[in-house]
């Protein structure tokens, strides 16, 4: 038995994977609190992730009906980029600043300039720093909370922190390290000189976690944690990785030709590449994958975070939201939403706000507003696919994951807006499955088991979720997407 954990923005999910039975035996999740403030502050307490993991773990194992001592290894996936700065006792010096925190936008712009602009970033890091990456959060802490900054003894990411809690080891791997902004994604090495630019007082050798390969173990579960979780003494913890890297594994996206699209709190589109990628746009992130290659990716900050805001405004549950989506026509009778409630990473508008456009006394209905916010979030994904260009063009199918993929209307919307067939894996939290697969790979690789074999056996697609683009809807969306791009151009000067 193997455990996969996914510490997302809104919740931590745990799955129990039975490799011999080729199935998921149990799943559970626990929500997280988000600390939001003025100026784009978005933070969480790392201790809450541990509590969520413990609660979801106990429930998933109970649902699976297994003896927890049969668990052989655990893999952990986590939201990317979060700054988890620990003191010498392993306690956070400040709450974790998340990937979607835009309070640090000015620090990011300053760092890009100091590194020599986009060209300098590409030269040093293999990608261009974007608001949300870890580096600008450290620079922000240095300027605004010097006492906390001077207590930093380790700089981890969310999944590294959970691995640290499980094993006591401070390690990371290239996929998640790619999103720090002080890691060269082409050579898969830390850039101590770039960290020195961000945080000159910190000793990079000391504060940065040791890099391991994706198939290596982070360590063994500590005895006190093993007792608390009811585990045997020798349970392995795999390297784990960023949620997008493990979502790629959980959708079988470990070779070129597939696109994974996630409708989570964020929206992401990514494709696998055997080589580092030099994209035409600075908005395409040349991340490493957690399966040995690269994972060029575009991320938007407002997907289910935006739909949830509108859904809750109207007091709707998920079923009610689904009914409203289905109850409005394509194009929401002229309503256009630029859903940038949290600011936006792609297009690069960290300080933007959301806009509802084209409202009249006739079309201002719950159904149209719900539909328009989901369409706006999905147009952001189409924009991302256009930026990926040739990296995604060969893909005949989109593997759709994340919470939004549970909605049949939204699945059809993705197919019609992208003009590409959509299918979901049986489990929409593919990052948790990817983490469990990586755990099995780590545990069995000495017996010659490969990740390719595990994906082939255990990534099951749900044929009932298949959505083919409908020609009339694809045609209708051309005009609606053009309207969205015009609104982007008018309000934010983003070229059509
Ligand atoms: N059927 C659905 N329709 C629309 N949104 C959904 C549906 N099911 C789940 N969601 C939304 O998906 C989100 C959770 O997605 P998830 O991928 O788990 O996020 P994260 O990993 O960022 O925490 C929640 O906001 C939830 O409301
Ligand atoms: O910042 C990124 C990718 O670069 C986000 O995709 C985060 O990794 C958060 O993911 P979710 O919570 O939406 O799954």
Q: Which atom of ligand 1 approaches the CA of 406 most closely?
A: 1
Question: d(Cα 437, Cα 451) in Å, to the nearest integer?
Answer: 7
Break the chain down into helix, strand, coil percent, rounded to 5. 45, 25, 35
> Per-residue DSSP letters for 232-290?
-TT-EEE--EEHHHHHHHHTT-SSTT-EEEEESSSEEEEE-BSS----SSTTSEEEEPT
pTM: predicted TM-score of the whole model, two decimal places:
0.97
- Token pair for 216: 């290596």
**ipTM associated with this complex:** 0.99
Ligand 1 pocket, CB under 6 A: 8-11, 264-265, 304, 307-308, 318, 321-322, 402-404, 406-407
Domains and CATH numbers, the chain: 2-243 (3.30.420.40), 247-428+460-496 (3.30.420.40)
| H-state helical runs in 145-222 | 146-150, 158-167, 174-177, 192-198, 204-207
Separation of CA 424 and ligand 2 centre (Å):
18
H or E element: which one contains 372? helix 366-388
Residue 38 has a pLDDT of: 81
Find the 312 Cα to ligand 1 centroid distance in Å. 13
Strand order in 421-425's β-sheet? 285-288, 294-300, 267-271, 259-263, 397-401, 421-425, 461-467
Pocket of ligand 2 (CB under 6 A): 8-9, 79-81, 99, 132, 179, 242-244, 264-266, 268, 299
Name the closest ligand to CA 413.
1
Q: How far is the CA of 252 from the centre of ligand 1 (A)?
A: 21
Spot the catalytic one: 6, 48, 184, 243. 243
How confident is the model at residue 279, as a pLDDT? Answer: 84
pLDDT at 496 (0 to 100):
76
Query: CA distances (Å), 297 to each of 107, 115, 294, 384, in order?
Result: 23, 22, 9, 8
H or E element at residue 217? strand 217-220
Ligand 2 binding pocket mutation candidate from 83, 96, 243 (most atoms within 8 A of CB): 243
Residues contributing to the annotated binding site for substrate: 80-81
Structure tokens at 114: 């100091």
Nearest Cα residue to atom 4 of ligand 2? 299
Per the annotation, the verdict on 243 as an active-site residue is: yes
Q: What is the pLDDT along the chain (496 residues), one digit of tens a residue?
A: 999 999 999 999 999 999 999 999 999 999 999 999 989 999 999 999 999 999 999 999 999 999 999 999 999 999 999 999 999 999 999 999 999 999 999 999 999 999 999 999 999 999 999 999 999 999 999 999 999 999 999 999 999 999 999 999 999 999 999 999 999 999 999 999 999 999 999 999 999 999 999 999 999 999 999 999 999 999 999 999 999 999 999 999 999 889 999 999 999 999 999 999 988 899 999 999 999 899 999 999 999 999 999 999 999 999 999 999 999 999 999 999 999 999 999 999 999 999 999 999 999 999 999 999 999 999 999 999 999 998 887 788 999 999 999 999 999 999 999 999 999 999 989 999 999 999 999 999 999 999 999 999 999 999 999 999 999 999 999 999 999 999 999 999 998 7
Q: Strand, helix or coil at 423?
A: strand
From the CA of 159, the nearest ligand is 2
Q: Are 14 and 57 in contact (CB under 8 A)?
A: yes
Give me ligand 1 centre to Cα 341, in Å: 17
**404 CA from centroid of ligand 1 (Å):** 5
Q: Residue 154's beta-bridge partner residues?
A: 86
Residue 278's pLDDT is 87
Give the position, in ligand 2's atom list, of the atom nearest the Cα of 266: 13
End-to-end Cα distance, the chain: 50
Q: In which residue are the tokens 């009906």 written?
A: 65
């Amino acid at each position: 038995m193997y455990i996969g954990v996914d510490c997302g923005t809104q919740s931590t999910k745990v799955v129990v994977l039975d490799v011999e039975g080729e199935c998921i035996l149990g799943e559970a999740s626990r929500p997280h609190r988000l600390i939001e403030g003025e100026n784009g502050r978005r933070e969480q307490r790392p201790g809450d992730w541990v509590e969520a993991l413990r609660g979801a773990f106990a429930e998933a194992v109970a649902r699976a009906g297994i003896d927890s001592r049969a668990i052989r290894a655990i893999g952990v996936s986590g939201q990317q980029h979060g700054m988890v700065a620990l003191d010498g006792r392993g306690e956070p010096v400040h709450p974790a600043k998340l990937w979607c925190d835009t309070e640090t936008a000015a620090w990011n712009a300053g760092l890009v300039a100091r590194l020599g602009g986009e060209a300098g970033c590409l030269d040093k890091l293999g990608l261009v720093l974007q608001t949300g990456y870890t580096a600008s959060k450290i620079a922000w802490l240095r300027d605004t909370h010097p006492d906390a900054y001077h207590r930093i003894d380790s700089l981890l990411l969310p999944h590294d922190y959970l691995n640290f809690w499980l094993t006591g080891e401070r390690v990371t791997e290239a996929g998640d390290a790619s999103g720090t902004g002080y890691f060269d994604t082409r050579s898969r090495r830390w850039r101590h000189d770039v960290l020195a630019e961000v945080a000159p007082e910190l000793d990079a050798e000391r504060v940065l976690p040791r890099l391991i390969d994706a198939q290596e173990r982070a360590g063994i579960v500590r005895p006190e944690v093993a007792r608390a979780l009811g585990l045997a003494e020798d349970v392995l913890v795999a390297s784990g990785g960023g949620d997008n890297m493990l979502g790629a594994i959980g959708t079988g996206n470990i070779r070129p030709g597939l696109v994974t699209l996630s409708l989570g709190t964020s929206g992401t589109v990514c494709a696998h590449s055997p080589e580092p990628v030099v994209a035409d746009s600075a908005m395409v992130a040349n991340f490493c994958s957690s399966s040995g290659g690269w994972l060029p990716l575009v991320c938007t900050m407002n997907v289910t975070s935006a739909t949830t805001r509108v859904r809750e405004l109207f007091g709707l549950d998920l079923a009610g939201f689904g009914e409203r989506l289905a109850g409005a026509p394509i194009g929401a009778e002229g309503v256009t939403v630029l859903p940038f409630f949290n600011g936006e990473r792609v297009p690069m508008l960290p300080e933007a706000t959301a806009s509802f456009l084209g409202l009249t006394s006739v079309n201002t209905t719950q159904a149209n507003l719900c539909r328009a916010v989901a369409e706006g979030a999905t147009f952001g994904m189409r924009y991302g696919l256009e930026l990926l260009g040739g990296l995604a063009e060969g893909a005949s199918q989109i593997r759709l994951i994340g919470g939004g993929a549970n909605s049949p209307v939204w699945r059809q919307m993705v197919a019609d807006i992208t003009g590409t067939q959509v299918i979901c894996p049986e489990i929409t939290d593919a990052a948790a499955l990817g983490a469990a697969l990586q755990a099995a790979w780590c545990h069995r690789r000495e017996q010659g088991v490969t990740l390719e074999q595990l994906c082939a056996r255990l990534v099951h697609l749900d044929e009932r979720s298949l959505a083919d683009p409908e020609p009339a809807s694809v045609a209708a969306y051309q005009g609606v997407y053009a309207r969205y791009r015009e609104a982007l151009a008018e309000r934010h000067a983003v070229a059509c």
